[in-house]
Amino acid sequence: MNADSDAQEVDLGSLVDDDLVAQMHDDLYDGLAAEILEGTEILLERGWGPDKVLNDALVEGMRIVGIDFRDGILFVPEVLLAANAMKGGMGILRPLLAETGAERMGTVVIGTVKGDIHDIGKNLVGMMLEGAGFEVIDLGINNPVEAYLEALEEHKPDILGMSALLTTTMPYMKVVIGALEEKGLRNDQIVLVGGAPLNEEFGKAVGADAYCRDAAVAAETAQALVLARRAAAATAS
> Nearest distance from residue 169's CB to ligand B1M, in Å?
7
Decide: 113 and 169 in contact? Cβ < 8 Å. yes
H-helix or E-strand spanning residue 75: none
> Could you give the residue ranges of the DSSP H alpha helices within 99-160?
120-131, 145-155
Among 13, 91, 140, 197, binds ligand B1M (CB under 6 A): 197
Among 39, 89, 194, 203, binds ligand B1M (CB under 6 A): 194
Among 69, 96, 144, 179, binds ligand B1M (CB under 6 A): 69
Among 12, 28, 59, 90, binds ligand B1M (CB under 6 A): 59
Q: Tell whether residue 126 is a contact of ligand B1M (CB under 6 A).
A: no
Distance CA 170, CA 3 (A): 34
Distances (CA, A) of 180 to 51, 102, 197: 34, 30, 23
Write out the binding residues for ligand B1M, residues 135-174 only, by CB under 6 A.
Answer: 161-163, 165-167
Write out the binding residues for ligand B1M, residues 91-110 only, by CB under 6 A.
Answer: none
Name every residue whose Cβ is closer than 8 Å to that of residue 48 and which is 6 or more positions away in sequence. 17
Name every residue whose Cβ is closer than 8 Å to that of residue 16 and which is 6 or more positions away in sequence. none
The site for ligand B1M, by CB under 6 A, has a size of 36
Distance CA 191, CA 171 (A): 15
Q: Tell whether residue 89 is a contact of ligand B1M (CB under 6 A).
A: no
Range in contact with ligand B1M (rule: CB under 6 A) among 7-15, 24-32, 65-73, 97-105: 65-73
Range in contact with ligand B1M (rule: CB under 6 A) among 10-18, 30-38, 73-81, 224-232: 73-81
Among 26, 30, 119, 138, binds ligand B1M (CB under 6 A): 119
Decide: 61 and 28 in contact? Cβ < 8 Å. yes
Among 15, 79, 92, 145, binds ligand B1M (CB under 6 A): 79
Nearest to 44 by CA among 54, 59, 30: 54
Range in contact with ligand B1M (rule: CB under 6 A) among 20-28, 119-127, 181-189, 227-235: 119-127
Distance CA 24, CA 20 (A): 6
Burial of 171 (0-12, 13-18, 19+ CB in 10 A): middle
Interface residue list for ligand B1M (CB under 6 A): 59, 62, 65-66, 69-70, 76, 79-80, 83, 115-122, 124-125, 161-163, 165-167, 192-197, 212, 214-215, 218
